[in-house]
Amino acid sequence: MGQDFRLPDLGEGLPDAELVSWLIAEGDEVALNQNIAEVETAKAVIELPSPFAGTVQKLHHAAGDVVEVGEVLITFGGQDAADAAVAASEATAEGEEETEKATPNLVGYGAAPRRSARPQRRTRVARADDARGPDTAVLEAAPHDAIVEQPPERPMERPRSTPPVRKLAKDLGVDLALVSGSGQAGLITRSDVEAYAARVGVADATAAAEAGRERAQAADAASARAAQDGDRTTRRPIRGVRKATAEAMVASAFTAPHVSTFHTVDVTATMQLVASLKSDRALADHRIGVMAIAAKAVCLALGRNPSLNAKWDAAAGEIVEHHYVNLGIAAATDRGLIVPVIPDADALTLVELADAITELAQTARSGKTPPSAMTGGTFSITNFGVFGIEAGTPILNPGEAGILGLGSVQRRPWEHEGGIALREVMTLSLSFDHRLVDGAEGSRFLADVGSILVEPGRAMLMR
């Protein structure tokens, strides 16, 4: 007896995920919680652990497929998987204590669903002298853990399905309350909806046919474009991190009124400090660079300019000022731009900040940044200087008041102590939400960051 493992909800409310790669093959023996696949959501690449131990009977999708939540990913065989399948389907007879064995837990994504998410009630047997009759009989409370059979015409709770399946049902005119789910814990799948529509001859079969024609036309158009383009172009679907980033940036650009300002400063003293720290054998295990010092400067400057560490809550009609700094660090990866967050960065020392930035960058480059690490930011830094770029106009991370761009460090002729000398110079680019931050406040913040980079010792005077 096989056991199907379906793509779980990865905790982001997303309807699907792209299968990046399989970490196992058909015929392999898999242990409980062994990583079996890599999937990419709109935020990151995630490794899926197996909720079963057993033999891989079948892989239902290939790398590159977009799989909907609830679709079967893999079928397991073996006694452990069979036992889990039987245990998940058993129910204790009425009147006996429930001893149900749950389906094994998928580590990191919550326990498998039970038959009901809340206490149930059982229908009171109507007495002959009950004037209200059986249809209006009062429900008596059942024990908290009782399993109660409800009349089929009165479903106990909303039918379980995924957003794409609900959309399909709407397009076909199918009432999900009338559809029996064949998925895990009664989940209604696409095939369930299509089978129901075919079985009852839904009048909206015309809509299904029209949708099918539209899909066929789109496929024909894509084939025609590909044939016309030949080897001169490459087309890639917009999805995953790239799609999520694009949507977030468009939303940010058309929601928050962006203002950008620039400040070019002499960072020779900062570069000398970096060189000194690098040569210190006691700090050999730590990579303290310009980014770490700039991050420390940002945390100090935000304490003096709190309007840059705030968000605009339109729903509540409030401006929310944060008394902590969750610092986002923009990271360019093969899959697109992501912004992992360093929680409570203002409470970290320079060395701790440097270590956090190093770890964040390594995790981002490997594609292993979890979705939870990319939420809750209050201010961000982006470093386009690593590409040799002097300045830019960064777009705000949604929900944040400001973002600082670090330009490349360049040797230039610069006024110094009454003369001209070659100095290490950097341009700082600040974009901010003009609803929250006035020009004067933005300028003061940028001047504070710049003064620390010009003379790092000034950080000792700030609080």
Report CA 18 to chain centroid distance, whole Å: 13
Are 428 and 405 spatial neighbours (Cβ–Cβ below 8 Å)?
yes
Three-state secondary structure call for residue 446: helix
pLDDT bin (cut points 50, 70, 90) of residue 271 is very high
Q: What is the DSSP track for 57-85?
A: EEE-S-TT-EEETTSEEEEEESHHHHHHH
Residue where the block lists tokens 């310009």:
290
Q: What is the DSSP track for 1-33?
A: --EEEEPPP-SS--SEEEEEEESS-TT-EE-TT
pLDDT bin (cut points 50, 70, 90) of residue 143 is very low
Q: Which domains does the chain have, with CATH numbers?
A: 1-89 (2.40.50.100), 161-237 (4.10.320.10), 242-461 (3.30.559.10)
Mean pLDDT to the nearest integer, 21-45: 84
- Return the minimum-mean-pLDDT range out of 5-9, 127-131, 161-165, 342-346: 127-131
- Cα(400)–Cα(375) distance, integer angstroms: 11
- Return the minimum-mean-pLDDT range out of 131-140, 154-163, 287-296: 131-140
Mean pLDDT to the nearest integer, 276-295: 94
Q: What is the DSSP track for 357-374?
A: HHHHHHHHHTT---GGGG
Mean pLDDT to the nearest integer, 132-153: 39
Q: What is the DSSP letter of 93?
A: P
Q: What is the pLDDT of residue 207?
A: 54
- Cα(252)–Cα(173) distance, integer angstroms: 36
* Burial classification of residue 14, based on how many CB atoms lie within 10 Å of its CB (0-12 exposed, 13-18 middle, 19 or more buried): middle
CA angle 277, 279, 281 (to 5 degrees): 95
Instruction: Name the token pair of 447.
Output: 């001047």
pTM as predicted = 0.58
pLDDT bin (cut points 50, 70, 90) of residue 217 is low
Q: Which position among 61, 258, 323, 434 bears the catalytic label?
A: 434
- Cα(3)–Cα(85) distance, integer angstroms: 6
Is-catalytic flag, 434?
Answer: yes
- Return the minimum-mean-pLDDT range out of 47-51, 283-287, 427-431: 47-51
